[in-house]
Structure 1
Amino acid sequence: MPTSPVWGSRSKTRRMVLDLIRAAGTISRVELATSSGLTPPTISDVVRDLILEGLVVEAGRGASTGGKPPTLLRLNPAARYSVGVLLERNACVIVVIDLTGRQVGRTSFHGTAQMPPEQALPFLADRVTALLDTAGVARDRVLGIGLVSHGPQDRPAGRLLTPQPTGTWYGYPVGPRLAEILGVPVLLDNDAAAAAIGEYWLGAVDPRSTYGCLYMSTGIGGGVVVAGEVYRGSSSNSVEIGHISVDVHGDECPCGNRGCLENYAGPAVVVRQALAIPALAGRLALDPDGTDFLTGFTRIAAAANGGDTQARHLIDQSARYLGHAAVTITALFDLDTIVLAGPSFAVAGPIYRTRLQQEVNRRSFARRAHPVRVVLSVSGSDAAAIGGAVLVLQSELAGNRPTEPRGTVASRATISR
Structure 2
Amino acid sequence: MRRGTNVHALGGFNQIVILDTIRRNRDGLSRVEIAEQTGLSAQTVSNVSRRLLDEGIIREAGQRILGVGKPRIILELDPSGGYAIGVHLDPSVITYVVLDLDGRVVAHQALRTPSDVTPDRVIASMRDSIEALIVEAGVERSRVLGVGIAAPGPLDLERGVVLDPPLLEGWHGVALREALAESTGLTVLLEKDVTAATVAELWMSSPHQRDDFMFFYYGTGVGVGLAIAHEAVRGATNNAGDAGHIIVDPDGPVCGCGRRGCLGDSIMPRRLVASAIATGLIARPVGRLGATEVDEGLAQIAALAEGGDAEASDLLEATASRISVAVVTVANLLDLDTVVFGGPYWNRVSRVLLRRIAELVNSSPALVTTHPIGVAVSSIGDDVAAVGAACLVLDDALSPRPSALLISG
Q: TM-score if structure 1 supplies the norm length?
A: 0.85
User: After superposition, what is the alpha-carbon deviation per residue over 1:93-137, rounded to whole angstroms, capped at 9, x for unaligned?
Assistant: 100001111110001111335521121111121111111111111
Q: How does 1:257-406 map to 2 (within 5 A)?
A: 259-278=261-280, 280-282=281-283, 285-286=284-285, 289-292=288-291, 293-363=294-364, 365=367, 367-368=369-370, 370-399=371-400
Q: Distance in 2 between the 1:362 and 1:34 partners? A: 48
Q: Is 1:185 matched with 2:187?
A: yes
Q: Distance in 2 between the 1:15 and 1:9 partners? A: 10
| Amino acid corresponding to residue 137 of structure 2 in structure 1 | A
- Structure 1 residue 342: Cα displacement: 0.5
- Structure 1 residue 231: Cα displacement: 0.6
Residue 165 and residue 116 in structure 1: after superposition, are their counterparts in 2 closer, same or farther (change >3 A)?
Answer: farther
- Structure 1 residue 138: Cα displacement: 1.5
Residue 163 and residue 389 in structure 1: after superposition, are their counterparts in 2 closer, same or farther (change >3 A)?
Answer: closer
Residue 237 and residue 88 in structure 1: after superposition, are their counterparts in 2 closer, same or farther (change >3 A)?
Answer: same
| Amino acid corresponding to residue 377 of structure 1 in structure 2 | S
| Amino acid corresponding to residue 75 of structure 1 in structure 2 | L
What secondary structure does 2:170 align onto?
Answer: helix
Q: Is 1:151 matched with 2:147?
A: no
What secondary structure does 1:281 align onto?
Answer: coil
Unmatched tracts of structure 2, length 5 or more: 1-8, 402-409
Q: Distance in 1 between the 2:101 and 2:259 partners? A: 41
**How many residues are paired up?**
389
Residue 286 and residue 98 in structure 1: after superposition, are their counterparts in 2 closer, same or farther (change >3 A)?
Answer: same
Q: Distance in 1 between the 2:47 and 2:144 partners? A: 26
Higher relative contact order at CA 8 Å, sep ≥6: structure 1 or structure 2?
1
Q: How does 1:5-404 map to 2 (within 5 A)?
A: 11-28=12-29, 29-112=31-114, 114-203=116-205, 206=208, 209-247=211-249, 253-254=255-256, 259-278=261-280, 280-282=281-283, 285-286=284-285, 289-292=288-291, 293-363=294-364, 365=367, 367-368=369-370, 370-399=371-400
Residue 46 and residue 252 in structure 1: after superposition, are their counterparts in 2 closer, same or farther (change >3 A)?
Answer: farther
Residue 345 and residue 82 in structure 1: after superposition, are their counterparts in 2 closer, same or farther (change >3 A)?
Answer: same
CA contact (8 A) 1:89 1:164 kept: no
Residue 220 and residue 208 in structure 1: after superposition, are their counterparts in 2 closer, same or farther (change >3 A)?
Answer: closer
- Structure 1 residue 83: Cα displacement: 0.6
Q: Distance in 2 between the 1:21 and 1:207 partners? A: 19
Q: Distance in 1 between the 2:193 and 2:219 partners? A: 10
Q: Distance in 2 between the 1:18 and 1:255 partners? A: 48
User: After superposition, what is the alpha-carbon deviation per residue over 1:157-215, rounded to whole angstroms, capped at 9, x for unaligned?
Assistant: 22222254454211111221111111112211111111111112112673562121111
- Structure 1 residue 228: Cα displacement: 3.5
What secondary structure does 2:59 align onto?
Answer: strand
Structure 2 residue aligned with 1:412: none
- Structure 1 residue 45: Cα displacement: 3.3
- Structure 1 residue 229: Cα displacement: 2.3
User: After superposition, what is the alpha-carbon deviation per residue over 1:220-268, rounded to whole angstroms, capped at 9, x for unaligned?
Assistant: 1111123432111100100212232335686664468764210112212
| Residue range with higher mean Cα deviation, 138-147 or 253-262 | 253-262
| Amino acid corresponding to residue 80 of structure 1 in structure 2 | G
Q: Distance in 2 between the 1:384 and 1:397 partners? A: 19
Q: Distance in 2 between the 1:267 and 1:133 partners? A: 35
Report % sequence identity.
35
- Structure 1 residue 337: Cα displacement: 1.8
What secondary structure does 2:159 align onto?
Answer: coil
Q: Distance in 1 between the 2:390 and 2:383 partners? A: 11
| Amino acid corresponding to residue 288 of structure 2 in structure 1 | D
CA contact (8 A) 1:298 1:344 kept: no
CA contact (8 A) 1:10 1:399 kept: no
Q: TM-score if structure 2 supplies the norm length?
A: 0.87
CA contact (8 A) 1:323 1:355 kept: no
